[in-house]
Amino acid sequence: MKKFFGFVIKEFRHILRDKRTMLILFGMPVIQVLLFGYAIRNEITDVKIAVLDYANDYMSRELTDKLLSSDYFILMDRLNDESEIESSFRSGRVKEALVIEPQFANRILREGKGHVQIIADASDPNMAQMLIAYTTAILTEYQMSLSHTKPAGVRVIPEVKMLYNPEMKSVYFFVPGIIVILLTLICALMTSITITREKELGTMEVLLVSPLKPVQIITGKVIPYVFLSLINTTTILIIARYVFGVPFAGSYALFYAEALLFIVTALSLGILISTVSRTQQVAMMASLAGLMLPMIMLSGFVFPVSSMPWPLQWLSNIVPAKWFLTIVKGIMLKGVGFDYIWKETLIIIGMTLFLLTLSAKKFKIRLD
């Protein structure tokens, strides 16, 4: 046991002495959370718009005010002529323009309908779509407020409620994803590199000839990463909580137990990669291309799995990150207990056992 302990200390030294490793280990979680949290947002705030108000009556002003008081939009240009719309877009000053027809209030009062035109900059299609959706929502709301004073025919009024993330903040969605990616990255990538490094340097030979057992060597190499991953997970949770105000609905104990399970999964992936790669470069490429990409693409972190074609949907089932992401979201955002995620947990346990057996076998073959 003392031998083993000395080995773990040696591993910690390797990690703490290597500035690059330290940067990856401790800089990356912080940078990723801040990046995803601040820069990459799906919701819109303070989008600059132009308004061309031909009517300029009390209703058109009411409508404009409503739009601008929403936090989503700020008025950049007040236009006087249709010809100015084009130049506003071209200069990049605005992303959306709202045109209100002449006699807006009169028409609504007399004919029961008024026209507005929404023009959006679709060079960024996703953004344009979101702008239209937000604007339309506000228009509908305004229309409803009018119908209170002037009742019309029968109408279905949907009342939408967004569960678990009422303000539709994308950071809620990113935080579980980042946890999954980081655990994969640190555990799988770093362990595969650290094991192949010993092979490359020739020290693995010496370790294998020593009284240390192979299983002690491998365990000793991965234990520091288990600790560091747990520290990192905690860092992410703290930033998410206190910088972005992401709530943590479920049980911390359950969360950490599941995280530990997934860490073992990722570690066994890393060990497996290290048994088949001879050099650190190969290990790194295999981890990045073979693990990170599928994990990011197919886990449901970036693209929803349900809208993928069926071969990809099927493929996503063998990506452990997909199941872990479901678990993390469940615990963090929905606050579910174990009875809701036992199936996912069981699947990950099965995958882990399979990977561990496989890498143990591979390791033996390599020795012979």
**Under the rule (CB under 8 A), what is the footprint of another protein?**
2-3, 6-7, 10, 13-14, 17-18, 201-203, 205-212, 367-368
Min dist. Cβ of residue 45 to another protein (A): 47
The nearer residue to another protein, 8 or 297, going by C-beta atoms, is 8
Min dist. Cβ of residue 206 to another protein (A): 4
The nearer residue to another protein, 199 or 329, going by C-beta atoms, is 199
Tokens of 47: 């989008």
Is the torsion defined by CA of 347, 350, 356, 360 positive or negative?
A: negative
Beta bridge partners of 78: 51
Tokens of 198: 């010993």
Min dist. Cβ of residue 205 to another protein (A): 6
Min dist. Cβ of residue 207 to another protein (A): 7
The nearer residue to another protein, 201 or 353, going by C-beta atoms, is 201
The nearer residue to another protein, 3 or 343, going by C-beta atoms, is 3
Min dist. Cβ of residue 278 to another protein (A): 14
Min dist. Cβ of residue 133 to another protein (A): 55
Q: How would you classify residue 223: left for phi > 0, otherwise alpha for psi between -120 and 50, otherwise beta?
A: alpha
Min dist. Cβ of residue 196 to another protein (A): 15
Min dist. Cβ of residue 212 to another protein (A): 5
Min dist. Cβ of residue 10 to another protein (A): 5
The nearer residue to another protein, 4 or 164, going by C-beta atoms, is 4
Measured between alpha carbons, how far is 35 from 241 in angstroms, rounded to an integer?
15
The nearer residue to another protein, 93 or 213, going by C-beta atoms, is 213
The nearer residue to another protein, 201 or 238, going by C-beta atoms, is 201
The nearer residue to another protein, 21 or 143, going by C-beta atoms, is 21
The nearer residue to another protein, 141 or 205, going by C-beta atoms, is 205
SS (H, E, C) the chain: CHHHHHHHHHHHHHHHHCHHHHHHHHHHHHHHHHHHHHHCCCCCCCEEEEEEECCCCHHHHHHHHHHHCCCCEEEEEEECCCHHHHHHHHCCCCCEEEEECCCHHHHHHHHCCCCEEEEECCCCHHHHHHHHHHHHHHHHHHHHHHHHHCCCCCCCCCCCCCCCCCCCCHHHHHHHHHHHHHHHHHHHHHHHHHHHHHHHHCHHHHHHHCCCCHHHHHHHHHHHHHHHHHHHHHHHHHHHHHCCCCCCCCCHHHHHHHHHHHHHHHHHHHHHHHHHCCCHHHHHHHHHHHHHHHHHHHCCCCCCHHHCCHHHHHHHCCCHHHHHHHHHHHHHHHCCCHHHHHHHHHHHHHHHHHHHHHHHHHHHHHHC
